[in-house]
């Protein structure tokens, strides 16, 4: 049974773009690299050929993975959601101990902590889902409990 994956429209578009890139440009680049490596002669001792074939296998595996992800994706239409309530696709500004942080709530496959994109399934994401501006949400962490005050919620 395949897992249903939730995506924002932006995340789904990135998934499709990677699929297009890998099935067209990257496949062609690898095909040329394999042909060039074959021209070097004996394939049994040809490191360039082995490397190109390994790249091909990795690319094909990623294409299969992307295809499966696209086939089972559920794109959340945030235009139908209340912009004042935190949900998938929301940007939310929170305060914790006087420090303000802004997060974008995304599906688990889109999460990127370096870009402040957190999964709706993460502890912080789960705590924030359904919250409104002015709410204080609590979540348990190994060192105790953390309170986050929701300063703003918007769709970006």
Q: Which of 119, 134, 135 is nearest to 87 (CA)?
A: 119
Counting every residue written for the chain, the total comes to 156
The CATH 1.10.287.180 domain(s) of the chain lie at 5-75
Quick check: 1 pLDDT over 70? Answer: no
Banded model confidence at residue 128, pLDDT cuts 50, 70, 90: very high
More confident residue, 82 or 111: 111
The CATH 3.10.50.30 domain(s) of the chain lie at 80-155
Q: Which of 140, 138, 147, 69 is nearest to 110 (CA)?
A: 69
- Interacting residues of 36 by C-beta distance below 8 A, sequence separation 6+: 48, 52
What are the backbone dihedrals phi and psi of residue 20, each rounded to the nearest 5 degrees, phi first? Answer: -60, -45
Q: Does domain 5-75 have CATH number 3.90.420.10?
A: no
- Interacting residues of 89 by C-beta distance below 8 A, sequence separation 6+: 8, 9, 76, 78, 81, 104, 105, 106, 155
- CA dihedral sign of residues 11, 73, 106, 23: negative
Q: Which fold has domain 80-155?
A: Chitinase A; domain 3 (3.10.50)
Rounded average pLDDT over 106-119: 91
Per the CB < 8 A criterion, the answer to whether 149 and 133 are in contact is no
Banded model confidence at residue 135, pLDDT cuts 50, 70, 90: very high
Q: What is the reported pLDDT for 3?
A: 67
Quick check: 52 pLDDT over 60? Answer: yes
Beta bridge partners of 105: 118
Banded model confidence at residue 2, pLDDT cuts 50, 70, 90: low
């Amino acid at each position: 049974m395949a897992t249903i994956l939730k995506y924002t429209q932006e995340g789904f578009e990135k998934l499709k773009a990677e699929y297009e890139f890998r099935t067209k440009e990257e496949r062609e680049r690898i095909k040329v690299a394999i042909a060039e490596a074959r021209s070097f002669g004996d394939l049994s001792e040809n490191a360039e050929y082995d490397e190109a074939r390994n790249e091909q296998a990795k690319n094909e595996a990623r294409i299969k993975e992307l295809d499966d992800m696209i086939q089972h994706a559920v794109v959340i239409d945030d235009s139908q959601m209340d912009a004042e309530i935190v949900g998938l696709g929301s940007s939310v500004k929170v305060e914790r101990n006087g420090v303000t942080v802004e997060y974008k709530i995304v599906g688990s496959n889109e999460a990127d902590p370096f870009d402040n994109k957190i999964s709706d399934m993460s502890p912080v994401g789960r705590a924030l889902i359904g919250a409104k501006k002015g709410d204080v949400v609590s979540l348990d962490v190994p060192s105790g409990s953390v309170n986050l005050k929701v300063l703003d919620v918007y769709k970006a």
